[in-house]
């Protein structure tokens, strides 16, 4: 194993020529010979720097419309040549193969092309063959060759060559090789995803190459990272950097607010809605959402589907909260809300919801389709003699949208398109109902005329009995229990209406 390698020959084959002038001049100053191809060769030559065209070594021109340029034994032999093996040295000499010590590659922009066009032929042509092969060959032979797999490593290369006068250590080369396999595996994953849109091969592959460090994870002693592009989701207008817990709550808030089209405010605490109301204007929607549970709202995450005006901002500003998410802010409202230094203000952008969700469990990953089913009146199947009124139907739809997003076991109570009580994350449905009733009573809500939604069926009649005794007369639930008849019979005997949806909404 050669620990220190003095670079004598470098191969540059890149799609983007950005900053290649800096690297080429540095290599030239270090008396490193440069080999190159096609447009890169022309670019370097036009800088007035000596450069050797690949085809003068291979005796083959670029062929098949540029598909084949570097794929030749004289190139790959020079890269894969093991300097400490006699047999390799003899063959290198026998076949007059020039050793290559540094390879710089910038791949065809396949990922960007997929985002910019639906033209299958154009996309396929942006699948890099020669570049990816150069990366893999160079990284495999990291004991002797330094590989720079993308423009993201240019700064590190320049610093290394400058510091070590055109040489590299084994530690340097192994680090760059690791980066190379990171680049190549991500590139191949994106190509697979493109092809697999039609083929639907069942396999778990995800690649998001650039982590965003978070202040910490769920707790201060845990490290946290976010993999993704938050700039596609929102623009941060004010406040401190978002945390791990913030992101989890932001996700919950955005998923819930998507369910509503009329002016609505949602308050989230630990991923559960503790306040939500729909009204004719944002100010009233906010005040009534806050009234649901003003204690839990303290330090919460708030979102709305309407622009925040100054009147609404004045009301919001009375409460300490961590995050506000809106599609727009009036300038005067924004300036007022910025009065708290660390308050996070986000402007939400339109973005595609991922159709699948996954999490790590045990020694693997579980994946499922996202719960995107939202029931409407046509999905309600009355199972009792009494049927809900038109107003109750609207509240049942409202309640069922909320219950879908709460932690199981959960019960949601709604009156006049306002959450008035909820029980979440309970080990029994009865406990969830009792928690919801306590919340409603604690904050002064009358239960007469309220409706109840459950994320799953009632195994016994106890829940409808307790709800009825509290003044609730309309219920929506999935149904499906072997003892559904018990709940139906109780409702019929007491004049309650109940509808089944046939759709369970567990959330763990």
How much is the CA Rg of the chain, to the nearest whole Å? 31
Burial of 183 per CB tally in 10 Å (0-12, 13-18, 19+): buried
- The tokens for 367 are 């994946």
The whole-angstrom separation of Cα 371 and Cα 503 is 10
Residue with tokens 């609505």: 264
Neighbours of 112 (CB within 10 A): 10
* Residue in 41, 39, 46, 44 with CA at minimum distance from that of residue 57: 41
Q: Would strands 102-106 and 9-14 be described as parallel, antiparallel, or unpaired?
A: parallel
How far is it, in rounded angstroms, from Cα 455 to Cα 505? 5
Q: Distance between CA 302 and CA 185 in Å, rounded?
A: 39
CB 82 within 8 A of CB 88: yes
User: DSSP of 154-202, one letter per residue?
Assistant: HHHHHHHHHHTTTEEEHHHHHHHHHHHHHHHHHHHHHHHHHHHHHH---
User: Among residues 279, 286, 347, 348, which one has the least CA distance to residue 319?
Assistant: 286
Residue position matching structure tokens 């949602």: 266
Query: Does the annotation mark 140 as catalytic?
Result: yes
Dihedral angle at the C-alpha atoms of 453, 456, 462, 465, nearest 10 degrees? 20
CA atoms within 13 A on the CB side of 388: 25
Give the separation between CA 220 and CA 244, rounded to whole angstroms. 10
Catalytic residue among 8, 17, 126, 140: 140
- Backbone angle region of 166, left / alpha / beta, with phi > 0 → left and psi within -120 to 50 → alpha: left
Catalytic residue among 17, 126, 270, 314: 270
Q: Which two tokens stand for residue 397?
A: 């739809």
User: What residues are labeled active site?
Assistant: 140, 270
């Amino acid at each position: 194993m050669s620990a220190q390698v003095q670079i004598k020959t470098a191969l540059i084959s890149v799609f983007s020529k950005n900053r290649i002038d800096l690297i080429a001049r540095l290599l030239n100053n270090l008396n490193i010979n440069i080999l190159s191809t096609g447009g890169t060769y022309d670019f370097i030559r036009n800088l007035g720097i000596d450069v050797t065209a690949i085809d003068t070594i291979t005796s083959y021109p670029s062929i098949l419309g540029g598909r084949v340029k570097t794929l030749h034994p004289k190139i790959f032999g020079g890269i894969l040549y093991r300097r400490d093996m006699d047999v390799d040295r003899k063959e290198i000499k026998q076949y007059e193969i020039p050793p290559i010590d540094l390879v710089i590659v910038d791949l065809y922009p396949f990922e960007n092309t997929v985002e910019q066009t639906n033209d299958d032929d154009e996309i396929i042509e942006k699948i890099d063959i020669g570049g990816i092969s150069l990366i893999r060959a160079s990284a495999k032979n990291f004991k002797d060759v330094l590989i720079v797999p993308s423009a993201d490593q240019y700064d590190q290369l320049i610093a290394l060559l400058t510091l070590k006068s055109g040489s590299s250590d084994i530690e340097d080369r192994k680090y760059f090789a690791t980066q190379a396999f990171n680049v190549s595996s991500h590139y191949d994953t994106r190509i697979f995803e493109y092809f697999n849109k039609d083929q639907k091969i069942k396999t778990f592959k995800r690649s998001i190459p650039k982590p965003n460090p978070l202040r910490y994870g769920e707790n201060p002693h845990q490290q946290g990272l976010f993999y993704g592009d938050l700039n596609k989701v929102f623009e941060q207008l004010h406040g401190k950097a978002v945390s791990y817990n913030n992101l989890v709550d932001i996700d919950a808030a955005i998923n819930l607010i998507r369910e509503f089209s009329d002016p609505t405010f949602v308050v989230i605490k630990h991923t559960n809605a503790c306040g939500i109301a729909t009204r004719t204007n944002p100010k009233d929607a906010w005040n009534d959402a806050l009234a649901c549970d003003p204690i839990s709202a303290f330090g919460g995450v708030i979102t709305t589907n309407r622009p925040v005006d100054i009147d609404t901002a004045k009301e919001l500003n009375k409460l300490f909260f961590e995050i506000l998410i809106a599609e727009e802010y009036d300038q005067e409202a924004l300036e007022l809300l910025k009065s708290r230094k660390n308050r996070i203000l986000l402007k939400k952008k339109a973005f595609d919801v991922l159709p699948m969700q996954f999490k790590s469990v045990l020694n693997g990953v579980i994946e499922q389709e996202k719960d995107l089913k939202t029931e409407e009146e046509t999905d309600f199947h009355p199972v009792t003699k009494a049927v809900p009124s038109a107003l109750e139907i609207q509240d049942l739809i409202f309640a069922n949208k909320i219950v879908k997003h709460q932690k199981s076991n959960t019960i949601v109570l709604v009156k006049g398109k306002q959450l008035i009580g909820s029980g979440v994350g309970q080990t029994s449905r009865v406990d969830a109902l009792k928690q919801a009733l306590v919340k409603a009573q604690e904050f002064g809500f009358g239960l007469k005329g309220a409706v109840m939604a459950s994320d799953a069926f009632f195994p016994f009649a106890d829940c409808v009995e307790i709800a009825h005794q509290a003044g609730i007369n309309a219920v929506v639930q999935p149904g499906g229990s072997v003892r559904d008849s018990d709940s139906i019979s109780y409702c019929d005997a007491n004049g309650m209406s109940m509808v089944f949806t046939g759709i369970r909404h567990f959330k763990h």
